[in-house]
Amino acid sequence: MTDELARRIAALMPRARADLAELVAIPSVADPRQYPPEKCRQAAEWVAAAFADAGLRDVHLEETPDGSHAVVGHRPPPPGAPTVLLYAHYDVQPPLDDTAWTSPPFELTERAGRWYGRGAADCKGNIVMHLTALRALGDELPVGLKLVVEGSEEQGTGGLEAYVPPHAGELHADALLICDTGNAAIGLPTATTSLRGVTTVVVTVSALAGDMHSGMFGGPAPDALAALIRVLDSLRDPDGGTRIEGLDNDGTWSGVGYDEQQFRADAGVLDGVRLTGSGTVADRLWARPAVTVLGIDCPPVVGSAAAVPATARARISLRVPPGTDARAAQAALTAHLEAAAPWGVHIAVTPESVGSPFRAATGGPAYAALDKAVQEVYGRPLSFLGQGGSIPLCTVFATTFPAAEIILMGVEEPRCLIHAPNESVDPGEIEHMAHVEALFLRHYADSRRP
């Protein structure tokens, strides 16, 4: 039966590629300042039609409190069978610098056996994985299904997080497949059991009423950009590790580690450049806070004037590990920034999103069924890893459905370069993880039978 399922999935891979090409071609960036909102609507309607065609019922769009649209649907369980919720998101990160892409970001392009395009892995590849698994099972689906495909995950505006609690009855399931992560490496089946939370703020430094001629006023006139640089530098130790007053930066990771040389290769660290911080790579990635300056508003080099900048601002991300309250972390970051302002410059910190960290419980029948499925497909047991990224929705699901098992899995692996130029996916991971998902649904149904 497994061999027959594998053959069905292999035969579906041309359709999977065609589906992914159509989805990647839709620039569904959920930020109206960058892309037309109708593109997200187009992607949502594509997803709804595809899952309806794959056998789900009443698949439709629901507007969430942030204005984005989630795709929801269901399929009733056979008598006595459990229900599984399938999650992914159709919105994508902006392509950033188009010139850094080897091929157009919104055109699925094959090179050296990988499929390139924005969202090819994160998270449209996971949507295609779901569709391929469901098509392979067809009418043999052994469980009930709930579907929710999010439309603003990358923006962190919390639309689906706010939508879930008042719609708990419609979304309730025994196990949740949160498919927005992936394997530790190609061929190494992995469930993510730990996620960092995240908070973002914008810090604005003001020093002068307006930009002033650097020849006439430079020296005693305080430079807002220089002040901002000092503020940002205060967030790190001399070795580059994050150091924010009030936050523990000495946590350790007790699970499977992350080889330093492998990390350097995965992250594309240049020769001679040292990693920042101390402790193991896993400690720094999964057990400690990590600050990143996401962007700075200041005069660009080309077109800059001989003037002392009056204002400058930066957007800052702070990832926080399980055990740290994300709102408390945001408050600590804000207080640290305000205290670090030099020369009496004015500083304003504007909070943006807050997402809580997550840790999964792995001892239930869903994890046992997943382990059995990955051993049949990959020939090795399931591995457990942490992840430095954030999926705040997981905490909302855990709070709303405390008895449900939550599994984070998917087609993303380090070579995918999610959020970066030249994002890609290995089609073999789509094929194998679709096979894993289909087998999981069978094994999980068997495990819940009296």
Q: Which residues are catalytic?
A: 91, 153
| 319/448 Cα distance (integer angstroms) | 37
Asked if 336 and 318 touch (Cβ cutoff 8 Å), the reply is no
Phi, psi of 104 (to 5 degrees): -55, 135
Q: Which helix (H) or strand (E) holds 443?
A: helix 427-447
CA atoms within 13 A on the CB side of 341: 21
Alpha-carbon distances, residue 279 vs 6, 37, 233, 252, 284 (angstroms): 42, 44, 21, 8, 7
Residue whose C-alpha is closest to residue 371's, from 267, 296, 444: 444
Asked if 253 and 283 touch (Cβ cutoff 8 Å), the reply is yes
Give the 3-state secondary structure of residue 27: coil
Alpha-carbon distances, residue 259 vs 194, 283, 304, 327 (angstroms): 18, 12, 43, 32
| 342/116 Cα distance (integer angstroms) | 45
Q: For residue 235, what are its two tokens? A: 């967030």
Alpha-carbon distances, residue 278 vs 245, 262, 293 (angstroms): 17, 17, 19
| 174/286 Cα distance (integer angstroms) | 27
Residue whose C-alpha is closest to residue 176's, from 444, 447, 449: 444
| 165/168 Cα distance (integer angstroms) | 5
Q: For residue 93, what are its two tokens? A: 């990160």
* Range 47-78 burial, b when 16+ CB lie within 10 A, else e: bbebbbebbbeebebbebebebbbbbbbbebe
CA atoms within 13 A on the CB side of 342: 14
| 381/403 Cα distance (integer angstroms) | 25
| Count of helix runs (H) and strand runs (E) in the chain | 13, 18
Give the 3-state secondary structure of residue 431: helix
